[in-house]
Amino acid sequence: MKTPNTLGLIRWLTGITRPVHPPLLVSSVLRCINLGLELVLFGLAGLLVASFASGNPIGGLLLWIVVVALAKALAYYAEQFTGHYVAFKALELLRAEIFRALIPRAPRVMATARSGDLMARATKDVDRIEVFFAHTFAPAVSAAITPVVVLAVIGLKVSWLVALTALPFAVLQL
């Protein structure tokens, strides 16, 4: 049996896990929202310190900090929930595909391989996929999208010169 190349493996994997792509997109969007709310929270905290130092009332800002913190917590929980739902659903799909491929070969496979070796190989390789879906995809997508959105907001709301000044730091974090 020929070992598939990386592109062939990605096509096979994305073909089998196609049913979980929409919730994976939701998880990625929620991750971006979570990071955006984190930036808003930092901005509000800075504004709170500046308002307190200048003697301005801070009650309204405190309320906004609580609201944004709760929204951030909800976005974080929802992102974790959907990411892990995707990961475990993908595991289910991949394991079903493995068993579907093994069943027609069962008599020959059982005569030439030990069942423990087959199980270890199938679960070890498939479990690596869980890390990708639950802990890698959404952070990678959000690491690329969030800085671009933040720089666009800075450019539109503050000035494009400030956004261009911050651009090298955004590129360095990638």
Token pair of 145, please?
Answer: 């999208």
What separation in angstroms does the CA of 107 have from each of 1, 94, 102, 113, 115? 18, 22, 10, 10, 12
With 80 as the cut, is the pLDDT of residue 128 above it?
A: no
In whole angstroms, how large is the CA radius of gyration of the chain? 23
pLDDT of res. 33: 96
With 80 as the cut, is the pLDDT of residue 106 above it?
A: no
108 vs 138, more confident:
138
Token pair of 174, please?
Answer: 């990638």
Q: What is the pLDDT of residues 41-88, one digit of tens each?
A: 999 999 999 999 999 999 999 999 999 999 999 999 999 999 999 998
Q: What percentage of the chain has pLDDT greater than the value 90?
A: 57
With 70 as the cut, is the pLDDT of residue 130 above it?
A: yes
With 80 as the cut, is the pLDDT of residue 113 above it?
A: no
**Residue 54 phi, psi (nearest 5):** -90, 0
Confidence class for position 115, pLDDT limits 50, 70, 90: low
d(CA 22, CA 135): 16
Give the residue among 141, 143, 39, 148 at the shortest CA–CA distance from 86: 141
SS (H, E, C) 120-170: HHHHHHHHHHHHHHHHHHHHHHHHHHHHHHHHHHHHHHCCHHHHHHHHHHH
Please tell me the pTM assigned to this model: 0.81
> H-type helices in the chain, by residue range?
6-16, 21-53, 59-102, 106-112, 115-131, 137-157, 160-173
